[in-house]
Amino acid sequence: MNRNGRPSGRTARVFGMTAAIGILAFAARGEVQVGQALPDLKAAGLEGRLPDVVGRVVLVDLWASWCAPCRKSFPFLDTLQRDFGPKGFVVLGVNLDDEAEDMRRFLEANPVAFAVVRDASKQYVERLGIDRMPTSLLVDRKGVVRFIHAGFHEGKTETVLRSEIARLLEEP
């Protein structure tokens, strides 16, 4: 502070640098936003067989077997795959369990028609930067994230996702 009670040049510089570091740290979080391209799935080192997603509308669902709403969403995701699959739609489940065995056991008890891969290193989810489980990213035919849905609420989530998928499938 100087005699007038205003910040001195040095104080202002310190504040400026702190703010710049904060902004850079915020920008470096790597959170994927609507309108951005979905990070490359093939380069993410995901375990399992990736489905063909080129030119298709894709719902990337991040889930874990210990997450109750994720488990609840599975029958609905399976229905989505069956209903919209023939029109060029793909559901891709990305599992985030620490143990592969937990995922395997869950899928054995709850078999689904859609593809499931595992992000063992958690690098892909770190890049996506989600803040809730489950989170679904709806990607258009060009590979751009168009809609992000966090959590699963029966009825509400189902209506919203169905209408968004139908809208994206109509796009060329």
Partner 1 sequence: MCTTQGPRRVAAALLAVAAWAVLSGCATVKPWERGTLARYGMRPDRDPLEDSLSEHIYFTREAAAGGRGVGGGGCGCN
Among 24, 68, 109, 170, the residue binding partner 1 under the rule CB under 8 A is: 68
| Minimum CB distance to partner 1, residue 150 (Å) | 9
Q: Is 61 in the site for partner 1 (CB under 8 A)?
A: no
CA distance readout (Å), 50 to 20, 112, 114: 39, 15, 10
Phi, psi of 164 (to 5 degrees): -70, -40
Q: Is 44 in the site for partner 1 (CB under 8 A)?
A: no
Number of residues that bind partner 1 (CB under 8 A): 22
| Minimum CB distance to partner 1, residue 8 (Å) | 13
| Minimum CB distance to partner 1, residue 149 (Å) | 12
Stretch that binds partner 1, among 7-15, 94-102, 136-144, 161-169 (CB under 8 A): 94-102
Count of CB atoms situated within 10 Å of the CB of 62: 23
Among 130, 160, 166, 169, the residue binding partner 1 under the rule CB under 8 A is: 130
Among 46, 53, 80, 96, the residue binding partner 1 under the rule CB under 8 A is: 96
- Burial of 94 from C-beta contacts in 10 A (0-12 / 13-18 / 19+): buried
Stretch that binds partner 1, among 26-34, 35-43, 79-87, 97-105 (CB under 8 A): 97-105
Q: Is 151 in the site for partner 1 (CB under 8 A)?
A: yes
Phi, psi of 7 (to 5 degrees): -65, 135
Q: Which residues contact 68 (CB under 8 A, 6 or more apart)?
A: none
Q: Which long-range contacts (CB under 8 A, 24 or more apart) does 145-151 make?
A: 145/32, 145/33, 145/34, 145/35, 145/36, 145/37, 145/38, 146/34, 146/35, 147/34, 148/32, 148/34, 151/69
| Minimum CB distance to partner 1, residue 135 (Å) | 8
Residue ranges in contact with partner 1 by CB under 8 A: 62, 64, 66-70, 96-98, 102, 122, 125, 130-135, 151-153
